[in-house]
Structure 1
């Protein structure tokens, strides 16, 4: 299922995030709200639904939580691939190239993923957000080298000063593809529980 709009607010205070999330769903009839803590002690609130409701909820959340707002985004026409990634879907790949964009925030990573998918003929392999990353975001694009280069360039432009690193790896070795497709955290290789 795809949604025409999403908004995400990242708060440096958990209490402020809960208060803002409450204000968001009280202000507008969003289709769904997801919220919770992420590293490093931040609180995320994600709402999805029709454009007008999400925009109204976004405004309410920013207004109520403004003093603790670390980052935010409003995407009125989000790419379906981003919605799939946010719902936990992951695609296995072993294509021509892997593109990685690493950001300092969750909101920026989602924005990078959306821009890259809209601007190039690539797929989103994975979208990792905050937990186990010290609050960072990781966007993995895959496809043909030229297309992945385009997606990474577009995404990096969107990230501005939230960009940590960008990389395009052509002809990623099969054993590395296996690791990229299967694991996000090192301990998962050994069956360790996520901390």
Structure 2
């Protein structure tokens, strides 16, 4: 499945999240990328399809979720590294400088990751969403120092009105022991 447009709704209720996921899939011709509970008792739904269908699906999810919606978005042309990083299937690459962006919501972390990947010559290593993180999320990327700095800055700004960025860092020359913990 080649993903071009993705949409996401993150909710503060697992039950409402499951209902929203079902209605999102019935509302438009979209494919389910992910629908699962996250910490702390949240639920995230990610769909793909044509831009109009994804926008309609996300709108329905937000209507069903109402005041339980934590965050949502539609990305019309998602970067090719986002889904592998999200699903833990990124390919092993040489780790140079590291960039990390930590956000308050899983949805805002996906926005940050997409903006970061589009801004520079970086490789997304991982997008970790909310599992064991009290609802927070983070993205880890690598590349040369200049690219990582530019990408982290773009990712921080790419969150826009979504959940706030809690912290971000560029590590110019990570230790071998830290690198070994990334994969």
- Which TM-score band applies after superposition, normalised by the shorter structure? over 0.9
Matches within 5 A, 1:22-171: 22-159=22-159, 162-171=164-173
TM-score (norm 1): 0.87
Matched residue SS, 2:56: helix
Indicate the structure (1 or 2) with the bigger Cα radius of gyration.
1
Between Structure 1 and Structure 2, how many residues are aligned?
181
Matched residue SS, 2:181: helix
> 2: CA distance between counterparts of 1:27 and 1:107?
21
CA contact (8 A) 1:94 1:177 kept: no
1:177 aligns with 2:179: yes
Taking a change above 3 Å as real, the CA distance of residues 158 and 80 of structure 1, as seen in their structure-2 partners, is same
Gaps of 5+ in 1: 182-195
Deviation readout 1:65-123 (Å, 9 max, x if unpaired): 12110111111111110022233312334433000001111001100010001111111
Please, what is the CA RMSD of the aligned residues?
1.4
Out of 28-37 and 123-132, give the one that drifted further.
28-37
1:33 Cα deviation from its structure 2 partner: 4.7
Gaps of 5+ in 2: none
TM-score (norm 2): 0.93
